[in-house]
Every structure is written in structure tokens, then in C-alpha cells.
Amino acid sequence: MLDAAVAAFARRGYRAASMDEIAVAAGVSKPLVYLYLNSKDDLFTACIRREAEALKAAVRASVEVGAPADRQLWSGLLGFFEYTAAHPDGWTILYSQARTVGEPFADEVAAMRAEIVEFVRGLIAAAARDAECDEELAEREVAALAHALVGAAESLAGRPGPATGRENAATLMNFAWSGLANLMSGHTWTPSGFRPTPRAGR
């Protein structure tokens, strides 16, 4: 039933997809759909939650625990891109449909995204510790870098074109890791004449 619903919502959108067509595609009666899930809203929420849990599990499982920091980040990105490429309907629901329909569906996706960002933040923070990066610099930059990296990955995964998951992961690593490596060693870029705003209590 959820497989049929995911396909229908991804193909036609939340508003256009009907419970009738979902029931037909699932090979069950419409009353049975309502028996298990009280409404179209509940069905869509169940789809979002299933796809979100599957994506999070795929990313976590793909990370090579104990590997060097760059290898862990690479394997996590590769897991993300390979999963979204293999499950385009699920990714369409998470990246396009749920965000545009509005609350409470967008909140479900935001919660999933926050977990992935926190997971990536942990990977980058571990890399900073391994590189003995300045603690103040790491504290200031790591969370922002995690948000930026996840946003870039989402954008690439939603991009039409022939690029494979491996190519997308390599593109993002080439874009991000050189900058991260410089940051970890204390070599940061600032525009000419820029002075950071003093932090409270410092």
C-alpha cells in the first residue's frame, strides 16, 4: 500500500493523487486503505516517515566507521546519492512534495534533515579533532559547514541529468574537502579588509 502511495504521490503530487488510484495500484479496496490509514493526510505522513527513515538508515550504514575523516565523509555522501538515485519516488516526496505542500509535512522533512545535518556535523567535528584544529574555529564553523554540505547534496540529488551517484559524490568531495582541509589546518579565506564581528564574552 505504501509503495503504491509513494509512486502516486511522486508522480502526480499530493493534491492530485487520489485514494482511489492508490487503492487500485495497491490491489486493495478503498475502504481497506482508510481502515489502516484514516485519511489522505495520514497516508502521506506515513510515506514521508518511511522514506525518511530509510534514507537516514542508508546514510548511516554507508559510512565507513574507523576510516580516515575524508573516507567517512565520502562514503556517507556516496550512500546518500546512491540511495536517492535508486529511490527517485521517495526522494521526490521528501525533497519536492512534502516541502511544498506545507505543514505538518514540511515539519516531518525538516526533522529528518536536522538529523542528517547533525550526523554530518559529527563527521566534520571528528575531522577537526583529528587535525587538531583550533577549537574556537571548529566551534564557529563546523555546524555551518554541515548545513552547507547537506544543502549542496540535496541540490545535486535533485538535479536532472546523467550524473551517477558516484559522480555526484566525487563532485561534492572535490568542492568541499579542499576547503575543509584548509580550514582544519587553520588556513581560512577572508575578503580583503574583512574583520570578523567580535564574539560575546571574548
What integer pLDDT is reported at residue 32 of this predicted model? 84
Q: Is the pTM of this model over 0.85?
A: no
What integer pLDDT is reported at residue 136 of this predicted model? 64
Helices (H) and strands (E) in the chain, counts: 10, 0
What integer pLDDT is reported at residue 187 of this predicted model? 59
What integer pLDDT is reported at residue 145 of this predicted model? 85
Between CA 184 and CA 166 the distance in angstroms is 25
DSSP string, 124-156: HHHHHHHTT--HHHHHHHHHHHHHHHHHHHHHH
Between CA 159 and CA 118 the distance in angstroms is 24
Cell representation of residue 34:
482508510
Residue with cell 506545507: 102
Q: Where are the domains of the chain?
A: 47-184
* The CATH number of domain 47-184 is 1.10.1040.10: no
DSSP 199: P
Cell representation of residue 125:
567535528
What integer pLDDT is reported at residue 165 of this predicted model? 84
Report the amino acid identity of residue 1: M
What integer pLDDT is reported at residue 65 of this predicted model? 86
What integer pLDDT is reported at residue 39 of this predicted model? 87
**Do residues 5 and 47 lie in contact, with contact meaning Cβ atoms separated by under 8 Å?**
yes
Integer CA distances (angstroms), 16 to 12, 13, 20, 28, in order: 6, 6, 11, 20
Per run of 10 residues, the mean pLDDT along the chain (length 202 residues) is 93 90 88 82 93 95 88 90 93 88 87 92 80 66 86 86 82 76 59 57 50
